[in-house]
Amino acid sequence: MKRAVVTLGHPQHAGMVRALEVIDGASASHGWTLHYAMPALPPAIAGSSLPRDRITVIPGLAHWRELRGTLALPATVLRLRRLARDARVFYSETLSTFPFCLLAGRLLGIASVVHVYSSYGSPRPYRKHWLGRARHVVAPSADSLRLASEAVGGFGGDVDARVAYNGMDIARLETAAAAPPPEHVTIPPGPRIGMVGNLDWRKNPRVLVEAAAQLRAAFPDLQVLLIGAFPNDEAEHTVRAQVERLGLGRSVHVTGFLGNPFPLVRTLDVLVHPALRDPFPLALLEGMALRRPIVASAVGGIPEMLEDGRSGILVAPDDATALANAVRPLLQEPGRARALGEAAHERLRTRFSLAGFAATMFAAFDAAARAS
């Protein structure tokens, strides 16, 4: 059994944690055991299936580009080195921990696999995270891999670069969605639209709120669910001020972080994903598993995930009117919405399997181990 040390600099990100749960569950069948290093144990970790006895807290992993991270760099690298003494591979689930793994891996003589989950508009962040030094790269979509390669001037012939489309455990999602909704979230009756995820500028809840204001004329009792938490007070104040300005105080509901958001997701008449950038959102795979009709921004890997007009509706990013115009007919024509949701479910089942995701990930681990 080979051992890998997996690092995650943003353990509060529920989507990243769910991806780790997938590979952890498949690791033994692929001949691997995984140990995790992260800077803290937030609710997303506490509520996950990741075993606590295989998680090591290393606070310095959270601050690569900050002064305190630079000052703690030697200690962080040495802690990773001790943790990985008998490991074959480091795996950075996001770019932010890759420099630490690269340095610790060089001390130990083992390779590092880096997963480029981000899809930056500028090449600068890729370079700041030393991506040009990577020799084993995984991306969640062809679009993400293209952006990463272009940012570093193209991956050379010695770089093992591959796309690993995330999969989804449909049966698990259906079971989780059958649980009672959280008691603290009370939603009045009426058509429901909503989004799921970190409520930050990238996910762009602001444009959903603006679109909801346009939809109110046709649907006075429209309910809007923002299923997730804001990253900071400023982001929360911005959106809540917009809600009040548009007179939507009784219509917009912010749930906060939910360990199991799926009982609410399954009640949505339309799942909206108004992101400004997103490499391959797990929130949409989860919506596809629950047969939700989806309207999403045509950014990142989303056009690889959904066929416009067949398994989802794609719109220009940051365009509230286009978003409202796409959602409106789905609320007016439930039959069309159901057909879209069924097509999304079938596309997930046939194109984005858990087995395929796990096989690609562990093939990358095996290639890195052979190269060490």
If pLDDT is split at 50, 70 and 90, which confidence band does 186 have?
confident
**Mean pLDDT score of the chain:** 94
- Taking CB atoms within 8 Å and a gap of at least 24, the contacts of 171-179 are 173/262, 173/286, 173/289, 173/290, 174/289, 174/290, 176/260, 176/262, 176/263, 177/262, 177/263, 177/265, 177/266, 177/290, 178/263, 179/260, 179/262, 179/263
- Whether the predicted pLDDT of 5 surpasses 90: yes
More confident residue, 119 or 331: 331
The predicted pLDDT at position 127 comes to: 92
228: left (phi over 0), alpha (psi -120 to 50) or beta: left
Question: Domains in the chain, start-ordered, CATH in brackets?
Answer: 2-167+353-371 (3.40.50.2000), 170-351 (3.40.50.2000)
Q: Any idea which residue has 């007919």 for tokens? A: 329
CA distance 252 to 283: 19
* Contact status, residue 274 vs residue 203, Cβ threshold 8 Å: yes
- Whether the predicted pLDDT of 68 surpasses 80: no
Question: Poorest-confidence range of 20-29, 117-126, 135-144?
Answer: 117-126
- Whether the predicted pLDDT of 372 surpasses 90: no
Average pLDDT over residues 283-304: 96
Bridge partners, residue 53, by sequence: none
- Whether the predicted pLDDT of 233 surpasses 90: yes
pLDDT, tens digit (0-9, with 9 covering 90-100), for 304-336: 999 999 999 999 999 999 999 999 999 999 999
pTM of the full structure: 0.84
